[in-house]
Structure 1
Amino acid sequence: MPSLLIETSTERAVVGIVEGGNLLFQKELPLGLNNAKFLAPSIVEGLKVLNLSMSSISGIAVGIGPGSYTGIRAGAMLAKALAYAANCPLIGVSTLECFAPTSDGPFTVLIDARIGGAYFIKGIQEKGSIQHTLQPQVLPLESLEDFLNETQYVVTPQAKILKPKLEVFCPKALWEELPPNLLQMASVAERNRIAGHLAVDEALDLMYLRKTGAELEKEAQKERIDAQK
């Protein structure tokens, strides 16, 4: 049975439907971080094109970050609602694990973390199969040199932003600006399903990797209050 995939954590948001390792439908949302209004209509479009209903969907995989807090939450909220309505399994997938280079070799996935940092993961692709060698992390840009100097491919949805800042660390690497790879996402989701990593009662553990602006402001406010005591 087909599965629904939703990844909205970056400007390159995408939805799709896969079955048995085949990509049946893919729709990239308009570029940007304010594309939540296109999410549900794009899913409806995919179901209509394939003559499916949500009752035909065997499971839903959704990107859980890191990335845009607003984007992560938009995708997660809709995925949870759809999984509840369709009574089907819900599986969270790290957004960094949804990207894949176009050729074999060692690669690094980068997502802009703003405030002078980047989310990243490293891996090796061999004969189309990907093995990640690091867990998702976030570091300041200046601390990424050791992680980039031996990489062959840099995969990111934001090459125009990150390449000028980081290519000095990996001058021989090929930069690829790509959207999430839905077949790679489906592969990770299936691995998570087999491992029993399913959302319980549609509860997802979102992967922010660092505190939100609201959390930082709350901590700063507490420090100011404590300092006045």
Structure 2
Amino acid sequence: MAYILNIETATKNCSVSIAKDGETLLCKEIAEQGYSHAEKLHVFISEALAALNLDFSDLDAIAVSQGPGSYTGLRIGVSAAKGLCYALNIPLIAVDTLEVLASAISVENGVVIPMIDARRMEVYSAVFSSDMLKIRDTKAEIITQESFAEITETIHFIGDGALKCQEVLPSGQFVYHPEIIYPSAKQMSALSFEKHKKSDTVDVAYFEPFYLKDFLVEKKL
């Protein structure tokens, strides 16, 4: 039996779940225009544990969404996860954010392309088969009319980044699922448990989020 705390903060969704053997027992999350992760994350963790009558000492591991996504959001989630793992002396598990998002949908055929909004017409995306195997690595890309032209199957778009594609890539081959906007810690439960069973963990001291792009600070002139 394994209790795992899952933390997902890569987007505007501040999401926490507690799972037992890969099954989500409880999830607390909120998606707001202004990032509230710093204020909400530790509160959600404490409230989730209390609701299940669990203590931090009951946790066997902590999983965190590793990115890509918001620089600030990822830093907050990873810092919290690393601090708790260090204090509790339990392993840290890193889960691909786009795989978490892709896991929110089930399709019988075609491919699934989860997209996280970067900026302007750029997205972070990857391509998954209908049985959730990653068939194209994660990358940052600018969406044009030629995007994904090499794919002949039906393409299912999910995530907040997909919203900007509808005018450029109209329906037909492209199927949009606007009900799936952000990755959630609910979908992390099965993924993190599989990694836990294989002892697929990361070094608490040296692990860094997968930003994909360098963080740039614009100076005012």
Aligned-pair CA distance for 1:32: 3.1
CA distance in 2, matches of 1:12, 1:149: 32
Alignment-mate amino acid for residue 134 of structure 1: R
Aligned-pair CA distance for 1:193: 4.1
Distance change >3 Å, CA 151–CA 209, structure 1 → 2: farther
- Which residue number corresponds to residue 69 of structure 2? 67
- Which residue number corresponds to residue 13 of structure 2? 12
> For residues 140-179 of structure 1, what are the structure 2 equivalents within 5 Å?
140-142=142-144, 144-146=147-149, 150-159=153-162, 161-168=163-170, 172-178=174-180, 179=182
Counterpart pick for 1:109 among 92, 102, 114: 114
Q: Bigger radius of gyration, 1 or 2?
A: 1
- Which residue number corresponds to residue 123 of structure 1? 128
The structure with the greater share of residues assigned to helix is 1
Q: Alpha-carbon deviations, 1:80-112, whole Å to 9, x = none? A: 111111111001112111012143332110011
Q: Secondary structure at the match of 2:114?
A: strand
Distance change >3 Å, CA 86–CA 165, structure 1 → 2: farther
Distance change >3 Å, CA 26–CA 203, structure 1 → 2: same
Counterpart pick for 2:216 among 180, 196, 213: 213
Q: Structure 2 unaligned runs (5+)?
A: none
Alignment-mate amino acid for residue 204 of structure 1: F
CA distance in 1, matches of 2:154, 2:168: 12
Distance change >3 Å, CA 33–CA 171, structure 1 → 2: farther
- Contact persistence 1:150–1:170 (CA under 8 A): no
Distance change >3 Å, CA 147–CA 182, structure 1 → 2: farther
Q: Secondary structure at the match of 1:180?
A: coil
Q: Is the counterpart of residue 82 in structure 1 residue 84 in structure 2? A: yes
Aligned-pair CA distance for 1:170: 5.7
Q: Sequence identity, in percent?
A: 28
Q: Alpha-carbon deviations, 1:134-169, whole Å to 9, x = none? A: 12111111263326763432111455x424444337
Alignment-mate amino acid for residue 56 of structure 1: D
CA distance in 1, matches of 2:120, 2:175: 24
- Contact persistence 2:153–2:173 (CA under 8 A): no
Q: Secondary structure at the match of 1:200?
A: coil
- Which residue number corresponds to residue 202 of structure 2? 199
CA distance in 2, matches of 1:18, 1:92: 15
Distance change >3 Å, CA 185–CA 148, structure 1 → 2: farther
- Contact persistence 1:98–1:184 (CA under 8 A): yes
CA distance in 2, matches of 1:45, 1:111: 28
- Contact persistence 1:83–1:202 (CA under 8 A): no
Aligned-pair CA distance for 1:58: 0.5
Aligned-pair CA distance for 1:171: 5.1
CA distance in 2, matches of 1:28, 1:166: 31
Q: Secondary structure at the match of 1:198?
A: coil
Aligned-pair CA distance for 1:33: 4.6
TM-score for both structures, normalised by structure 2: 0.84
- Which residue number corresponds to residue 57 of structure 1? 59
- Which residue number corresponds to residue 31 of structure 1? 32
CA distance in 1, matches of 2:172, 2:55: 46
Distance change >3 Å, CA 210–CA 149, structure 1 → 2: farther
